[in-house]
Amino acid sequence: MTFFVIGVDGGGSKTAAVVLDAAGQVLGRGWSAASNYHLVGEKGVEEALAQAMQEAARAAGVALPQASAVTWALAGAGRPADAERLRRLQARMLPGVPGEVVHDAAAALRGGVGRREGVVVIAGTGAMVYGENAAGDTARAGGWGHLLDDGSGYAIGLRACQALARAADGSDLPTRLETGILAALNLPSPEHLIAWLYAPERQVADIAALASVVLEAAESGDLAATDVLLQAADALAAGVDAVARRLQFSGETSLPVVLSGGLLEGSAFYRALVSQAIHTRVPFARPQEPRLDAAVGAGLLALALAGRSLPSFADEPRPRPAGPWASEQRNVLTHDLDVRSTLEVVGLMHLEDRRAVAAVRPRLPAIAAAVDAIAARMRKGGRLIYVGAGTSGRLGVLDASECPPTFNTAPGQVVGVIAGGARALTEAVEEAEDRPEDGEQALRDLDVGPLDSVVGIAASGRTPYVVGALTEAHRRGALTVALICNLPAPLASLADHVLAPLVGPEVITGSTRLKAGTVQKLVLNMLSTAVMVRLGKTYGNLMVDVQQQNVKLQERARRIVAEACGIGESEAAEVLARCDNDVKVAIVSTLLRCSPDTARERLKQSGGSVRKAVAERA
């Protein structure tokens, strides 16, 4: 009897089956419709699997009941109860044949990488990310079904319909998606989309099929379509990041990430967007196309089930590439920027800026931890010192200069240091950033000590001036924080707290005044503002330590007292006059109905916090 095994890869739009011989060679293939249990039910699964396996068996010239093993790798089989139900179906259809039911991602990983160690991204009708490490641990992200998963054909198609609706309403920019979708569905106007979308017979695959319209529109420069694809690509990249962290891939060697599924394998454009997004979120990742398809991967799992071992065809682990870091790489969206329309140029910048803002979100816990550490030192008299060069340095100086008028910080309490000195604020002094010894000297000149907090700002994470400054700060026992946009980076190894919003390639290659500058400004806003909130510089969201150096700020002070105390602005002006124009004293005096001197004493006892001073009203 001829030895053979059966492998099946089943998803939300199609099912593929293969027959493999003992050496792993394909003897026959077969195809059929969708076999995702949650979409077509058990009867639909049975019909699809029977058709695909019978077609593969006929092509191979074998009889299915004589198989030595069978592996079904099916979307929707990731949960134990579902897998067990499908395994019982498998036993009925192929009685006596050793078998297993696994999720389709396991087969895609085995076929795509050549071993069961790495990560696979599947994006077709549905989407999920799956990984295994050398210890056999597994992790997944996505695979929650078409209503919850992102990065899939269904999610892309649905977002495209939403973009069409907004454009038709006039609440968003016009988009070629309207013409493309209406033509694809043979609909006369946008209003007819409602009946099509909500029709009882509408299938998930119908909506997922609209992804091809989105891909075509995005490749022709449509901003709405590009936005849809970028959201999908970033969602898949976030899944890879989550899986890589849960499996504790260290990044010492590059991580193979297989890009599988109809969307990724069928569109070079979407594959490039997803690859770039993954490399931005997980710098040591190595996105790649599958070595073998998922059906063959399922067959290889069946060979292992039958006790046959095959030599791995996987590449040996490679050292992490030492090429240009992400912010110096070319953005795949803007290779042809100079021939785009002006609207497309500014539109692409807007889309990338929005991605930059989103890159801050994963770093919020790290930012919060840095804020608490800085505030703890500043309560004891320490300083907050920003150090940077070029754009990064200017942003640090800007944030420091805005703290006195906003929060009434004492002179020298928040300091901005820039390579090249004051001249570098208005002129390019690019060579100044190359001297680490100047950064060290700047920290010595400030006599930095253990109560101080030094924030090194550098998009690349490796600016010599900032490296020198943070090295000196660390040597002196100061708290060190690295605000960077690339990993790995030398500054990360010097810092107690690493704040690394990873924004990836810029619209203009290497121009880190763009996305990197945007996120640096956002994080600096968070650092200084949250620290001052922790130090009692606000009451609720009121700026109670504001300096009143001009008419605008004097009017603001009156409004703050009025808002905090529930009184009119004229009464607030009278209270301020009695309290020497001290906003905090005016608020405490009014709320506690006490004298200004008593209010000052309460504030002194509360460490300057209005909230604590009025906590127990007299």
Per-residue pLDDT tens digits for 482-541: 999 999 999 999 999 999 999 999 999 999 999 999 999 999 999 999 999 999 999 999
Residue 563 CB burial class (10 angstroms; 0-12, 13-18, ≥19): middle
> What's the order of all strands across the beta sheet hosting 99-103?
26-32, 15-20, 5-10, 69-74, 99-103
395-418 mean pLDDT: 94
115-290: what fold? Nucleotidyltransferase; domain 5 (3.30.420)
Whole-number pLDDT of residue 332: 93
Q: Is the pLDDT of residue 309 over 80?
A: no
Which percentage of the chain shows pLDDT scores above 90? 84
Where does 359-534 sit in CATH, by number? 3.40.50.10490
The pLDDT score that the predictor gives to residue 251 is 76
CATH 3.40.50.10490 residue ranges in the chain?
A: 359-534
* DSSP letter string, 290-320: -SS-HHHHHHHHHHHHTT------PPPP-BP
Q: Assess whether pLDDT exceeds 90 at residue 83.
A: no
* DSSP labels, 308-363: ------PPPP-BPP-S--GGGSPPTT-TTGGGS-HHHHHHHHHHHHHHHHHHHGGG
Among candidate residues 402, 571, 574, 601, the one labeled active-site is 402
202-225: pLDDT as tens digits: 999 999 999 999 999 999 999 999
Amino acid identity, position 492: A
433 flagged as catalytic: yes
How crowded is residue 559: how many other Cβ atoms within 10 Å of its Cβ? 12
The residue from 433, 440, 472, 506 that is catalytic is 433
Any residues with CB less than 8 A from the CB of 281 and at least 6 apart, and which? 237, 238, 240, 241, 502
263-272, 314-323, 409-418: least confidently modelled range: 314-323
Query: What average pLDDT is seen over the chain?
Result: 93
d(CA 87, CA 386): 61
Residues of the chain with CATH 3.30.420.40: 5-109, 115-290
pLDDT, tens digit, 9 for 90 and up, residues 128-139: 999 999 899 999
Least confident stretch, 17-31, 308-322, 391-405, 539-553: 308-322
If we measure between CA atoms, which residue out of 287, 455, 486 comes closest to residue 371?
455
pTM of the model: 0.89
Which residues have a Cβ under 8 Å from the Cβ of 466 and sit 6 or more positions away? 387, 388, 389, 392, 419, 433, 439, 456, 457, 458, 491
Given pLDDT bands bounded at 50, 70 and 90, which one contains residue 312? low
Question: Is 132 annotated as catalytic?
Answer: no
pLDDT of residue 318: 62
pLDDT reading at 368 higher than 50: yes
Q: Which residue has the tokens 């994470």?
A: 461
pLDDT of residue 216: 96
Q: Which fold has domain 5-109?
A: Nucleotidyltransferase; domain 5 (3.30.420)
Cβ-contact 466, 457 below 8 angstroms: yes
pLDDT > 90? residue 178: yes
pLDDT at 618: 45
pLDDT at 396 over 60: yes
Mean pLDDT for 440-447 is: 97
Instruction: Using the predicted structure, report yes or no on whether residue 75 has a pLDDT greater than 90.
Output: no
Span 531-576, pLDDT tens digits: 999 999 999 999 998 888 899 989 999 999 999 999 999 999 999 9
Of 148, 129, 150, 126, the residue nearest 138 (C-alpha): 129
Pick the CATH number of 551-613 from 1.10.1660.10, 3.90.1530.10, 1.10.3720.10, 1.10.8.1080: 1.10.8.1080
